[in-house]
Amino acid sequence: HAAFGVSRPWALAVASLALVNGRWKRRRAEPRCRTVGTAATAGEEGAARRVLVPVAQDSEEIETACITDVLVRAGADVTVASVEETLQVKMSRGLKVVADVLIAECKGQQWDAIVCPGGMPGAERLRDSTDLTALLKEQHSSGRITAAVCASPAVVFSAHGLLGDKATSYPAPKFKEIVGSSWMDAKAVVDGNVITSQGPGTSLQFALKIVEEMYGLGKAEELAAQL
């Protein structure tokens, strides 16, 4: 999996741990619309779920780490793909991450979930990747999971027509305006095959929600109790 550079203080992630631990069952009441069928149908029986996490220069490192860490713990086969010309990208707060592959190598493959971290202008670089755009649109039309956090629901998903009736994003006015009337003030929102979340401070809840949709509530609660 992707290699992370020298560690930095991750206060928001620690704060999220406190929010998650012992409180996962309360999240069952959070806003959602329809049920994603992935937990029962994704992939061959017994095969690891395949998750693609695209990254760019200035993607958000807490979000990227939470997504990859939690999904690997759940048993997913996570691939981190750079949308840049090089595998190594410098994240929004200076952390250097070496991706597994370039995004072009992911074309023509089937993914159980594609999960976009946020960060600016990283989200704009994800939005502008033609290879990623093609992957996201095919993923969405096939009914498989697409997920985005922070700026990416507004900057990436809205730009490519991937949002439905309900969504959230980083709660800055400019992003709320882009998402429009479908914007909700919630840590994570499930709308069909689309999962969205608000930012670094909700990244663990976001990742656990993806686990819930892919593997079921029991697996998400099991992981939450360990964090």
The catalytic residues are 150
CA 170 to chain centre: 13
Give the pair of three-digit tokens for residue 18: 């406190």
**DSSP assignments along 118-159, one per residue:** --TTHHHHHHT-HHHHHHHHHHHHHT-EEEEETTHIIIIIIT
122 neighbors 156 (Cβ within 8 angstroms): no
- Please name the residue that has the structure tokens 């860490």: 69
192 neighbors 10 (Cβ within 8 angstroms): no
